[in-house]
Structure 1
């Protein structure tokens, strides 16, 4: 592993361009960038940034849907020693102002479709000196194409292992987004680990459609690039286009959130496509409901590999060989787990007193290893709290089984305390998902005069399916203790989701968290 070495992402791009210059690195909407071209354009853009006054470790903010240009912005920082600060294109104007001002970039790259939004907040962006537009630029911005044309392909910069390469903002599930400082050494170690776990090589073709401003898609692309493979990039999530691309381009690996896997499996034409080239679906962002995972195994075979982590750091995986629904009970139970630690990553589960938990005792998941964040940008108190004692405190609750497998039970802040009993929303959601009518579910606590908190489920039904509140609660009583079952159920047409594909419980609490 690269841990402790001086290997950087710049070294990775240089090696790919040297050894696989004509091999495709990126394919997007019929346009291809070879590994040689990708390094060339990354260097030209880094050179152009220096001509605009950017110096080592200063930030470039980028707000864009998936396209080749956002990948080039990343590459320019990686070879130039700059820092890419990502801005969600789903943000409202006040959220964009907050993230841009927090990351303090000199340059703000954005897509043409967001020009009106940015024009309305330009005067509030305190540090931005240059606005660069992908597409047709407004009068107050410079065209991305014109900027990169000013750069020199022979640009070179000294990049260190401990340098920041990106500043990626958290989903904001527990409050305002925090900028996660990610280093070259950490991301190189991450790329190496993911590449090994995917068993990726130059012949592999990975399909990505989750947003590149998020750590999930970015890390998957790094894992593929580690061995000079090819990334096929989609602009948005489109289930039919995914199926068509897997068939036509002989995709071998893809990466989706469980909600996306469900929509692909539910597509009415799925059986019309040849998906035989697909050997692996990496799923992350949230643990997959067991009922959905079994559907996927029945339809696609043993192709699923789960990775668990956060923007702050990854570290747990359920190996593909553990997805054995017909094996003995101890192995079938593993379908509900998030797996075992990555090579080189240590995991602890601790109680509120900081003591290690016994088998089957829920505790907070702590991670330590080379692929963790350096800290939170401009938030020393939050950094000290999250990285205390040398461990990344994830805020997720899990438990070990006798074999050392870890089971995710809840977010620490999502645990419901009702009548003195701890109720983990994940366990309740698993029960709800086992009803055939349920497409998506989120369990939250709501104030209750008698019990302190009561369990409420917010449920989205599958198209054409129906089930009533009483029937669904009765279903849950056959699977979990009565005190854990929902006391009320709200049916919704859709559940709000974060960019990562996770169900947005913060939004659900705001809408449905009243008694």
Structure 2
């Protein structure tokens, strides 16, 4: 397969009458998807869009999102996705950086897109899905007026396909560029490791501007399977549709898995069709993992990757919380490298380190990004001699299992000692009464930094900070034990489900400054 557009053409030819998408009771066949994507590509060409121009989309999950992707895949437009949870200044940055020629948006975002117009001189046309304001074209009106089957241009293998902005947990988001070649590899690798079949349905609940959702979409369409798409995550709707559509695979962040398990509807639904529950984006606490296995069976699989590329895969049969010591240790790993991927742990000079030695994880894979958009400095820092520097600290054991230790930028240095946040977080989450814990470093006049922990209690738990500290003292070296424990109801997160430590730290420091001023 040469391009994502060729994949769309192939699926329409071979599986034309087969179901490609189910959304709120509406079904699109592969032939429907190809026809609508083709007409859209032609309409956009008529408006002046050309190969490798940027086409931005701001929308929640909807069928039109897949049509926009398809139009870009056929004609070689670069699809620039916009996170609908961003603030206006953040959207202004993304829009100015990506410089799209055409901007497609849902009607509910007309207010914020209207405010963007003055700061986005590159945009020639705005297209609205739904009731369009007077300054925008109607999406369906545009489609209805177009009779060409496809734009008179085609994508090429090494064309840029997708421009997705990283979550920005460690600074301003960077635009990640992926080629058709890399995205096809992602679809093939994911479909293989998830063992998808063409007669099965995969449920997508993560947002389509995110790499997690598009990985599942690409995997399903690689083998001609069907995607059940949800507009947003709702645990009861997830359970309902797994039963109704006999869903075989879904992907969720651990926080969403917990919400599913907590749903009062879970024991009223037939979930026997579910063969794979793929979790990623954040570590799964062992207690939660055991709950999931008790309810669903050994169908859980884990993976490690990022917008820039993947990654690893921890297969289902390695999920043995009641096994021996090695089995239990492997639950904290993210598995082995995926097909065609190589992973190393290196020191500060880029030299490989021996097993069980912590260093930066670097990876080489056909799924790795081409570059950061408009950021050659960050590209050179991240892509070195064909290897992607992930910014994650990890170890590889003698059997090739990869373990994440921390983000390089999250590592706490207290009195000259390195403290890895994830190590402390895992101890905290094994403490009775603790539902979730987030650890970060905060300034300390004497030690440089000390350890602060934000703890979410289990419902009805009365565990105290003194009890948590006593538990940590028995499990950790003294310098690793949190010096402050803050009980919270929730923590800020980015759209992938990862904790937004930058925002959390900012809030902590503001509150500390206010308390000091009293």
TM interval, short-chain normalised: over 0.9
Map residues 303-314 of structure 1 onto 2, 5 A cutoff.
Answer: 303-314=299-310
Structure 2 equivalent of residue 183 of structure 1: 179
Measured after TM superposition, the shift of residue 301 of structure 1 is 0.8
Measured after TM superposition, the shift of residue 156 of structure 1 is 5.2
CA contact (8 A) 2:313 2:338 kept: yes
Instruction: Tell me which of 440, 453, 457 is aligned to 2:453.
Output: 457
Structure 1 equivalent of residue 516 of structure 2: none
Determine if the alignment matches structure 1 residue 299 to structure 2 residue 295: yes
Structure 2 equivalent of residue 102 of structure 1: 97
Measured after TM superposition, the shift of residue 438 of structure 1 is 2.4
Map residues 3-152 of structure 1 onto 2, 5 A cutoff.
Answer: 7-151=2-146, 152=148
Separation of aligned partners in 1, 2:47 and 2:160: 20
Separation of aligned partners in 2, 1:46 and 1:432: 52
Instruction: Tell me which of 259, 263, 271 is aligned to 2:259.
Output: 263
Instruction: Tell me which of 280, 284, 302 is aligned to 1:288.
Output: 284
Measured after TM superposition, the shift of residue 440 of structure 1 is 2.5
Separation of aligned partners in 2, 1:367 and 1:460: 34
Off by >6 Å, runs of 4+ in structure 1: none
Structure 2 equivalent of residue 422 of structure 1: 418
Separation of aligned partners in 2, 1:354 and 1:394: 12
Please list the CA deviations of residues 123-144 of structure 1 after superposition, one character each: whole Å capped at 9, or x if unmatched: 1112011011111001111111
Structure 1 equivalent of residue 481 of structure 2: 485
Q: Which moved more, 1:136-145 or 1:281-290?
A: 281-290
Map residues 432-511 of structure 1 onto 2, 5 A cutoff.
Answer: 432-511=428-507
Separation of aligned partners in 2, 1:142 and 1:48: 11
Separation of aligned partners in 1, 2:15 and 2:460: 50
Measured after TM superposition, the shift of residue 155 of structure 1 is 4.1
Separation of aligned partners in 2, 1:185 and 1:19: 21
Separation of aligned partners in 2, 1:157 and 1:477: 65
Separation of aligned partners in 2, 1:289 and 1:397: 19
Please list the CA deviations of residues 131-171 of structure 1 after superposition, one character each: whole Å capped at 9, or x if unmatched: 11111001111111012223322545332110011100000
Structure 2 equivalent of residue 356 of structure 1: 352
Instruction: Tell me which of 201, 209, 212 is aligned to 1:213.
Output: 209
The verdict on how the C-alpha distance between 1:271 and 1:106 changes in structure 2, with shifts beyond 3 A counting, is: same
Aligned partner of residue 374 in structure 2, secondary structure: coil
Measured after TM superposition, the shift of residue 197 of structure 1 is 0.5
Measured after TM superposition, the shift of residue 460 of structure 1 is 1.9
In structure 1, stretches of 5+ residues that fail to align are: 1-5
Separation of aligned partners in 2, 1:360 and 1:414: 20
Determine if the alignment matches structure 1 residue 232 to structure 2 residue 228: yes
Measured after TM superposition, the shift of residue 513 of structure 1 is 4.1
CA contact (8 A) 1:444 1:513 kept: no
Please list the CA deviations of residues 284-338 of structure 1 after superposition, one character each: whole Å capped at 9, or x if unmatched: 1122222221221122111111111000001211111211223332222111101
Aligned partner of residue 290 in structure 2, secondary structure: helix
Aligned partner of residue 414 in structure 1, secondary structure: coil
Aligned partner of residue 27 in structure 2, secondary structure: strand
Separation of aligned partners in 2, 1:269 and 1:54: 47
Determine if the alignment matches structure 1 residue 204 to structure 2 residue 197: no
State the TM-score, normalized to the length of structure 1.
Answer: 0.97
Structure 1 equivalent of residue 515 of structure 2: none
Measured after TM superposition, the shift of residue 353 of structure 1 is 2.6
CA contact (8 A) 1:40 1:153 kept: yes
CA contact (8 A) 1:44 1:150 kept: no
Aligned CA-pair RMSD? 1.3
CA contact (8 A) 1:79 1:156 kept: no
Separation of aligned partners in 2, 1:260 and 1:513: 29
CA contact (8 A) 2:51 2:154 kept: no
CA contact (8 A) 2:43 2:151 kept: no
Determine if the alignment matches structure 1 residue 330 to structure 2 residue 326: yes
Please list the CA deviations of residues 249-274 of structure 1 after superposition, one character each: whole Å capped at 9, or x if unmatched: 11110000111111111223322221
Structure 2 equivalent of residue 250 of structure 1: 246
Measured after TM superposition, the shift of residue 463 of structure 1 is 2.9
Separation of aligned partners in 2, 1:422 and 1:42: 52
Separation of aligned partners in 2, 1:297 and 1:436: 20
CA contact (8 A) 1:180 1:376 kept: yes
CA contact (8 A) 1:440 1:461 kept: yes
Please list the CA deviations of residues 95-149 of structure 1 after superposition, one character each: whole Å capped at 9, or x if unmatched: 1111011101110011111111111221111201101111100111111101222
The verdict on how the C-alpha distance between 1:513 and 1:368 changes in structure 2, with shifts beyond 3 A counting, is: farther
**Count of residue pairs brought into register by the alignment:** 510
CA contact (8 A) 2:2 2:157 kept: yes
State the TM-score, normalized to the length of structure 2.
Answer: 0.96
